[in-house]
Amino acid sequence: MASVWSQSMVIVGCGNMGGAMLAGWLAGGLDPARVTVVDPVLKQVPAGVTLLADAAQASAPDTLLLGVKPQMIAELAPGLAHLAGPSTQVLSILAGVELATLARLFPGAAGHVRIMPNLAAAIGKSPIALAAQGLNETARGAIAAMMEPLGTPLWFDESLFDAVTALTGSGPAFVYRFIDALAAAGTELGLEAGQAQTLALAMTEGAALLAAQSPHGPGELADRVASPGGTTRAGLDVLDADAALARLVARTLRAARDRSAEMSRESAS
pLDDT at 173 over 70: yes
Tell me, yes or no, whether 163 lies in a domain.
Answer: no
Tell me, yes or no, whether 269 lies in a domain.
Answer: no
> Can you give the pLDDT at residue 6?
66
Tell me, yes or no, whether 251 lies in a domain.
Answer: yes
CATH number for the domain that contains residue 210: 1.10.3730.10
Per residue in 188-230, pLDDT (tens digit) is 999 999 999 999 999 999 999 999 999 999 999 999 999 899 9
Q: Is the domain of 50 the same as that of 27?
A: yes
Q: Is the domain of 39 the same as that of 96?
A: yes
Buried b (16+ CB within 10 A) or exposed e, 138-177: ebbebbbebbebbbebeeeebeebbbbbbbbbbbeebeee
> Can you give the pLDDT at residue 1?
37
Return the SS3 of 142. Answer: helix
Residue 95: pLDDT band with limits 50, 70, 90: confident
- For the chain, what percent of residues have pLDDT higher than 90? 90
pLDDT at 130 over 60: yes
Q: Is the domain of 77 the same as that of 139?
A: yes
Tell me, yes or no, whether 162 lies in a domain.
Answer: no
Per residue in 7-36, pLDDT (tens digit) is 899 999 999 999 999 999 999 999 999 999
State which residues form the domain around 33.
Answer: 4-157
| Distances 34 to 30, 127, 254, 256 between C-alpha atoms, Å | 8, 25, 40, 36
Q: Is the domain of 189 the same as that of 227?
A: yes
pLDDT at 3 over 70: no
Q: Is the domain of 216 the same as that of 242?
A: yes
Task: Kindly state the average pLDDT of the residues 160-168.
Answer: 92
> Can you give the pLDDT at residue 134?
87
Domain boundary among 133, 157, 181: 157
Tell me, yes or no, whether 166 lies in a domain.
Answer: no
Q: Is the domain of 179 the same as that of 257?
A: yes
pLDDT at 268 over 70: no
Tell me, yes or no, whether 164 lies in a domain.
Answer: no
Per residue in 230-265, pLDDT (tens digit) is 999 999 999 999 999 999 999 999 999 999 888 878
Q: Is the domain of 26 the same as that of 146?
A: yes
> Can you give the pLDDT at residue 42?
93
Q: Is the domain of 43 the same as that of 85?
A: yes
Q: Is the domain of 153 the same as that of 193?
A: no
